[in-house]
Chains A and B, each alone.
Chain A
Amino acid sequence: DIVLTQSPGPLSLSPGETATLSCRASQSIRNNYLAWYQQRPGQAPRLLIYDASSRATGIPDRFSGSGSGTDFTLTISRLEPEDFAVYFCQHYVTSTWTFGQGTKVEIK
């Protein structure tokens, strides 16, 4: 199974700053089949990014994804109060999906 490792641990930032989140895979992700999800407290996850760099419908352009192979990044520019949440990466290469452990972006 592909293991996804996210870093850093909790990320403490102020509104208006930029968050850079990393997701590293234990083996190359074919076709960049990697997604990012946001989970706000008490809510279900929602899709932000698919195919490593494409924004899902309705997602603001301050969210961007990049990377290929085994190293992927989610960048959140100009943090808004509603962006403070937990972010998960997920691959969909095989018929069993795995997620990273999550990165919490918290208010400094």
Chain B
Amino acid sequence: EVQLVESGGGLVQPGGSLRLSCAASGFTFTTYWMHWVRQVPGKGLVWVSRINPDGSDTNYADFVRGRFTISRENAKNTVYLQMNSLRIEDTAVYYCVRRGDYGGVLDPWGRGTLVTVSS
């Protein structure tokens, strides 16, 4: 069974940093693109970033480019999201998602980790 388990969320002050982790299991991690998607509770889904299987190619949404960095450690089947210069509007549940087996779909999703940026 494919599992994605996020960790690292919590409360941080504006301007602070946080690193999210996503531990993957149940599939060949080294062959899949991995993504981060966020959701303000009760609101819509917003794609944040993605990384290719060997970590050499990354993409970011405009609103996080230069502040967030996605990376992966294939030996540990883990993907990370380093979040710097956090803003109040970055408050959201962050989901780790695998690229699906059908084109660019996102499937499956982790349960998410809540990041709260507040003073």
Contact = CB atoms under 8 A, between A and B. Distances in A.
B47 A56 contact: no
Contacts of B26: none
| Interface majority SS (helix, strand, loop, mixed), chain A | loop
Given A88-B45, A96-B59, A47 B106 contact: yes
Contacts of A63: none
Interface in B52-86: 59, 61
B47 A33 contact: no
Interface string B3-47: 000000000000000000000000000000001010000001111
Chain B, interface residues (CB within 8 Å), range: 20 to 34
B44 A88 contact: yes
Contacts of B105: 35, 47, 50, 56, 90, 92
Contacts of A35: 105-106
A65 to B, nearest CB: 12
Chain A, interface residues (CB within 8 Å), range: 20 to 34
A100 B43 CA distance: 11
B47 A44 contact: no
Given A96-B47, A96-B61, A99-B45, A90 B106 contact: yes
Contact of B45 (A47, A90, A93): A90
Nearest to B107: A47
Contacts of B45: 37, 45, 88, 90, 99, 102
